[in-house]
Structure 1
């Protein structure tokens, strides 16, 4: 594996909040660092409307332990701020009027108007943790009232290297050696797959897809109402999960409210916690994202990490698409005429979390019946698309990832963990607006893994095992030493920043699954650790 660009680490720093004052803000101290990289580019691309004189701002504070943050509460009270903290959580939300925040932290907070017309507050500076809070506060997030987001727009094409104008459900299951499990009755029965979505779907498309391929009709459970009009993303996710696990319950959770106003990551955490309470032990699939990792500090994502960890404890497995910008997630899909820079390399922030399984993308070749022939990393230069991947600027390398890729930054979380077909020229069939189409993207790869996990969970429960829950430690343990070969190693191709190669790589992770072998390996580990 050869890195073409080295990703530099951001230093998580601090910020907090305070009510409105009529006194002018103090001058900015040299000790307050100006944030650079994609964050600075976001502000530079927006119109500066001047100082934010009114309205509340908020940011996230990470704590050194789970105990009540008495020092923080006292400090914020002295500065006329408020704190929201949930017992046993290692983070809190601090908020107050924008001018008081600016005064307390010796920073500027301005209002901006973005290119899409959105008005938001932001500080170009990242203050350190106040000295009075060093014993209790580990870090503080950005002062930023806008959360860039992405929803993949699957490319619709005529397929080249798979049979009969795209993979049928049978061929898709066959490609990843799951069809014999399906014919034996392991179809996801008794499991639930949750799809978090920014867009809607049309029930008529789901009915047509099911009828066309001889699958039972299904009606998803819809939580929070339709996010928007029917689009390819959610339609594709539902149909791919149904193709692999037709008897699993499918749930669509409207995630669009997390984009309204500020505090997106707190809202995401609340959404995940509510989903966990209603559907404990479900399998989650994210084909959406909330901005590149270089826009934030690790503190910003603390509410999401807590919610994912709690869901794991209840049996949930979470998959997130690694992104479709070929390792340049921080470029944002804009200005592709300019050569990429170090600031462009990056990861989708949520996909980079150690608590989710990040899924990269491949180009797949099969026989006429769908039997696997070969895969390589998905990278389509003319479309400026490809599998996301790289090293995190926010999170340390988890213990379960320490033994792979010694040539990569040894201290940082690596993405993706695994992969599946994403190339729209070699992907699965869907029905959209009553048309037979083929779509792709890593937003296809994540629900493929979600559907396969539903099948594996049913099999495990039927054979004396248990639901998989947090799958990442299992994946890396199996890759290192397992009775059966569970992964097809992807050694060809790359993305805009890294090459695929033998073993783990920063484009396709551990590789793509041989599901029949993978589930046997998981069952063996579960029985050995009972």
Structure 2
């Protein structure tokens, strides 16, 4: 692989980062607040059609506990609204005619037409929790039926320089998975569920496995194969298969979550369904369902609840941190405009504390593909690179309390870990019957998913248990373990931070030395609590 490059500094100055991190949409005044930042830009870029003509509009209410929200239900009924709640959930959905929602929350609800033609309802104001409900509702979501979404679309490079790419065996060598796979730990007995917006061509998967002597890859599909084929699901499935060739692979069609509003509720329902069908699976997400400054924590409460339940069943969740170098809120408005304060943000789902957020690197190895070094992946001219930064929604979880950064904040930091994302040094896959090199953090996430499947098989076979919720363990290992479990990455930058020794908001804790990591995890699992 080629030598490491000098880090590229992106276009956002430090003052921009501070301004964006300081933004807070919440107010204790009890009155609706005008929403600024990416939400305001979204509405400003659309045509206001006046009072909403939707049959029904809705918003999510976050609850302090999992008790039936009787008082909320009574309040809603008195205001001509209804409440949808499922037993055990710490969230509910309030819905009703636009005029009644507007009157109940003292906001306006209008219809808007986006530049692409889709019509959606929204309120430019953030509704406040009614005074009579403040001990029963901890927060409210946005009134918005449209969430800008995207796959973290991979960028492919033709395979014209073979030594700048990682075939499956070389990928396992680089991150020290090979000692485990040679000992028979290949993910057998585990399941990797890839959530995607696009489909795949079985002929590409067949060519990939035939070329590299791997077991045949025939994914199970949940929800039907999406018609679109951008290459994202193809790459995710092949990369996970390269690491864990004997794990069961499932493609989950997530495109249904972005049709017709209620996006975050639909995502939660899809995740609940996958958890029921494949308990204890490893999930890989390379989808952007909006940036964290476009919504509120209440909007994500359904997803957080679904993931927490899945974690309790042994699931581990990896999500690409994003490919816009910390500018995830840039999507959804004018790409031609220079980056500004409203662009700084995180992928909303990847910012959840329960999710392991995976950043990206540029890799360097010796001629035998043994790891030599990594730096943060960034491409300044294209405003691409490893996503990361400070959460606008969530407090710092206990397992991240000891992390020190250049930013003095008590908020959740991302990413947690990283792996190769530069398509100049990435994994080889087959796309459209051609060998190409993949890239993006959407490659990094399934690398980690494959690693988790291999580690789970090893742990169970040696008297341990599946890793489940991984973040607390990762930070514990970084704080001190018998073997070095991470490659510390100290070069490179994105738009909000620079790489540094220890943790940073570009590459997290670093990339894995998997053989060391899994043995450290087994030590912890065997140790007295």
TM-score tier after normalising by the smaller chain length: over 0.9
In structure 1, the residue matched to 2:373 is 374
**Preserved CA contact (<8 Å) 1:163 1:369:** no
**Preserved CA contact (<8 Å) 1:315 1:469:** yes
**Preserved CA contact (<8 Å) 1:129 1:139:** yes
Q: Structure 2 CA distance, aligned partners of 1:61 and 1:422?
A: 37
In structure 2, the residue matched to 1:404 is 403
Question: Could you list the per-position Cα deviations for residues 367-388 of structure 1 after superposition, in whole angstroms to 9, with x for gaps in the alignment?
Answer: 2221111100000112221000
TM-fit CA distance, 1:9:
3.8
The alignment's C-alpha RMSD in Å is: 1.8
3-state SS of paired residue (1:137) = coil
In structure 2, the residue matched to 1:214 is 213
Q: Can you give the 5+ residue segments of structure 2 that lack an aligned partner in the other structure?
A: 1-8
In structure 1, the residue matched to 2:255 is 256
**Preserved CA contact (<8 Å) 2:42 2:332:** no
**Preserved CA contact (<8 Å) 1:227 1:256:** yes
Question: Could you list the per-position Cα deviations for residues 175-228 of structure 1 after superposition, in whole angstroms to 9, with x for gaps in the alignment?
Answer: 101111111111100000000010000111000000000101121000100122
| Equivalences for residues 283-432 of structure 1 within 5 A | 283-332=282-331, 335-432=334-431
| Equivalences for residues 134-173 of structure 1 within 5 A | 134-158=134-158, 164-173=163-172
Give the alignment's TM-score, normalised by structure 1.
0.94
In structure 2, the residue matched to 1:37 is 37
**Preserved CA contact (<8 Å) 2:148 2:331:** no
Q: Structure 1 CA distance, aligned partners of 2:150 and 2:87?
A: 32
TM-fit CA distance, 1:409:
3.6
TM-fit CA distance, 1:458:
0.5
In structure 2, the residue matched to 1:488 is 487
3-state SS of paired residue (1:294) = coil
3-state SS of paired residue (2:83) = strand
Question: Could you list the per-position Cα deviations for residues 251-310 of structure 1 after superposition, in whole angstroms to 9, with x for gaps in the alignment?
Answer: 000000000111111111110011000000000000011011110010000000000000
Q: Does 1:47 align with 2:47?
A: yes
In structure 2, the residue matched to 1:10 is 24
TM-fit CA distance, 1:30:
11
**Preserved CA contact (<8 Å) 1:13 1:129:** no
In structure 2, the residue matched to 1:26 is none
3-state SS of paired residue (1:235) = helix
Q: Structure 2 CA distance, aligned partners of 1:67 and 1:333?
A: 37
3-state SS of paired residue (1:66) = coil
**Preserved CA contact (<8 Å) 1:159 1:426:** no
Question: Could you list the per-position Cα deviations for residues 15-53 of structure 1 after superposition, in whole angstroms to 9, with x for gaps in the alignment?
Answer: xxxxxxxxxxxxxx9943210000000000011111114
Q: Structure 2 CA distance, aligned partners of 1:149 and 1:342?
A: 20
**Preserved CA contact (<8 Å) 1:504 1:511:** yes
Q: Can you give the 5+ residue segments of structure 1 that lack an aligned partner in the other structure?
A: 15-28
**Preserved CA contact (<8 Å) 1:53 1:99:** no
In structure 1, the residue matched to 2:71 is 71
Q: Structure 2 CA distance, aligned partners of 1:483 and 1:477?
A: 12
Q: Structure 2 CA distance, aligned partners of 1:333 and 1:427?
A: 28
**Preserved CA contact (<8 Å) 1:159 1:424:** no
Q: Structure 2 CA distance, aligned partners of 1:296 and 1:238?
A: 30
TM-fit CA distance, 1:406:
4.7
Does the C-alpha gap of structure 1 residues 338 and 231 become closer, same or farther in structure 2, counting only changes over 3 Å? Answer: closer
3-state SS of paired residue (2:342) = coil
In structure 1, the residue matched to 2:5 is none
Does the C-alpha gap of structure 1 residues 278 and 13 become closer, same or farther in structure 2, counting only changes over 3 Å? Answer: farther
**Preserved CA contact (<8 Å) 1:50 1:110:** yes
Q: Does 1:56 align with 2:56?
A: yes
Question: Could you list the per-position Cα deviations for residues 420-440 of structure 1 after superposition, in whole angstroms to 9, with x for gaps in the alignment?
Answer: 000011101010110111110
Give the alignment's TM-score, normalised by structure 2.
0.94
TM-fit CA distance, 1:10:
2.5
**Preserved CA contact (<8 Å) 1:163 1:367:** no
**Preserved CA contact (<8 Å) 1:166 1:438:** yes
**Preserved CA contact (<8 Å) 2:164 2:426:** no
In structure 1, the residue matched to 2:4 is none
Moved more, 408-417 or 478-487: 408-417
Question: Could you list the per-position Cα deviations for residues 56-81 of structure 1 after superposition, in whole angstroms to 9, with x for gaps in the alignment?
Answer: 00110011222111110110010111
How many residue pairs match? The answer is: 515
**Preserved CA contact (<8 Å) 1:156 1:424:** yes
**Preserved CA contact (<8 Å) 2:282 2:452:** yes
Q: Structure 2 CA distance, aligned partners of 1:513 and 1:247?
A: 21
In structure 2, the residue matched to 1:272 is 271
**Preserved CA contact (<8 Å) 2:363 2:375:** yes
Question: Could you list the per-position Cα deviations for residues 376-428 of structure 1 after superposition, in whole angstroms to 9, with x for gaps in the alignment?
Answer: 00001122210000000000100000100254343100000000000011101
**Preserved CA contact (<8 Å) 2:27 2:33:** no
Q: Structure 2 CA distance, aligned partners of 1:55 and 1:447?
A: 40
**Preserved CA contact (<8 Å) 2:158 2:435:** no
Does the C-alpha gap of structure 1 residues 336 and 100 become closer, same or farther in structure 2, counting only changes over 3 Å? Answer: closer
